[in-house]
Amino acid sequence: MRVEIHGHRGARGLWPENTLPGMSRTMELGVHALELDVALTADRRLVLTHDLTVSAVTSADRRPLRDGDPLYPYVGKPINALTLAQLRTLDVGVRLPRHPEDPFALTQVPIPETRMPTLGAVLGLVNAYDAENVRLHVELKSDPTRPELTADPEMFTDLVLDELDRHRRLGDVAILSFDWRVIRHAARVAPGTRRFALIEPDTLHWHDDLGPDVPAAARAAGATTLSPEHVMVDEKLMAEAAAAGLDVAVWTVNDAALGARMLDLGVAGIVTDYPDRMRELWRERGLELPEPVGPLKPVGV
């Protein structure tokens, strides 16, 4: 059975997360899928960011868009309160040294003056690489407990699907969300897509009438894959997922020993900040490795 390596936010442990240079280097390293996070700006643009407010860990203010901008500084402000132009003034290529407890600051190669990209820019990059064998896993950041920070889930999902369709990636994509309203809507309007129901202990309460069989509930919500935090994965969950007809893609696995345990349990995919470490594990296990992608296609070809 093929088991996949999914690069988390590109490869967060190696390069700046959710950025164009991070995505390009991850493709050149070799993954089966690129996972990325998307949120909606004040001017309805789809941007790559894990957080619904501008993160002080991954983002640094450099200048206001215009003198006297009342929203400056932008760090700490809601993504949906800022325009794309305001967000593009941020440097998202350096994890800040004032967060020494951040484990990725020790391993991530900084790429200063990197800008927050749009989903369209990432799709253009993937197409420029001619990366037909790299699937896009797009997580829609949506929190039903924080409606003031969250786009309408159906409208948000439609915008993402439309952008994917424009770039001819709709047939080779997975839609991911902890907010299963996104999964339900994607199942209705784009039934041919893969749909990953993300779960973790802290957000299970988001779902009404979940019941004791979480994989069955995810299947009923329209999921094609269950994607749990690794602490939830055991023989019982794997058996329930199999009974529901769902593959399991586990996150976020950065240790080879943990990865080996997940493989032994039978997961179909591992989401990791360190695809290089998982590639070594794949070699040890004799598993099919994803081919590195590159170089970029010449312009006009």
H/E element, 176: strand 173-177
Mean pLDDT for the stretch of residues 117-144: 95
Helix (H, G, I), strand (E, B) or coil at 46: strand
pLDDT for 223-250, tens place per residue? 999 999 999 999 999 999 999 999 999 9
CA distance 45 to 120: 9
Query: DSSP character for 202?
Result: G
Residue 164: per-residue pLDDT: 98
pLDDT for 66-121, tens place per residue? 999 999 999 999 999 999 999 999 999 998 765 667 889 889 999 999 999 999 99
Residue 301: per-residue pLDDT: 43
pLDDT for 161-198, tens place per residue? 999 999 999 999 999 999 999 999 999 999 999 999 99
Nearest CA to 96 out of 57, 150, 39, 41 is that of 57
Residue 209: per-residue pLDDT: 78
CA distance 101 to 97: 9
Give percent of the chain with pLDDT exceeding 70.
Answer: 96
pLDDT for 194-212, tens place per residue? 999 999 999 999 998 788 9
CA distance 80 to 39: 8
CA distance 288 to 120: 30
For residues 234 and 248, the answer to whether their CB atoms sit within 8 Å is no
Name the band, by pLDDT with cuts 50, 70 and 90, for residue 130: confident
pLDDT at 299 over 60: no
pLDDT at 298 over 80: no
For residues 22 and 49, the answer to whether their CB atoms sit within 8 Å is no
Long-range contacts of 100-103 (CB under 8 A, 24+ apart): 102/57
- Residue 175 bridge partners (DSSP): 138, 195
Residue 99: per-residue pLDDT: 62
pTM here is 0.96
Long-range contacts of 262-266 (CB under 8 A, 24+ apart): 262/230, 262/233, 263/3, 263/287, 265/233, 265/234, 265/235, 265/238, 266/238
Helix (H, G, I), strand (E, B) or coil at 256: helix
Burial 176-202 (b: 16+ CB within 10 A, else e): bbbbbbbbbbbbeebeebbbbbbbeee
For 69-128, the DSSP string reads: -TT-S-TTSBGGGS-HHHHTTSB-SS--TT-TT-GGGGTPPP-TT--PPBHHHHHHHHHH
| Residues present in the chain in total | 301
With tokens 């993160």, the residue in question is: 55
Backbone angles phi, psi at 177, to 5 degrees: -170, 145
Residue 100: per-residue pLDDT: 63
CA distance 58 to 12: 11
For residues 85 and 65, the answer to whether their CB atoms sit within 8 Å is yes
Q: What is the mean pLDDT of the chain?
A: 95
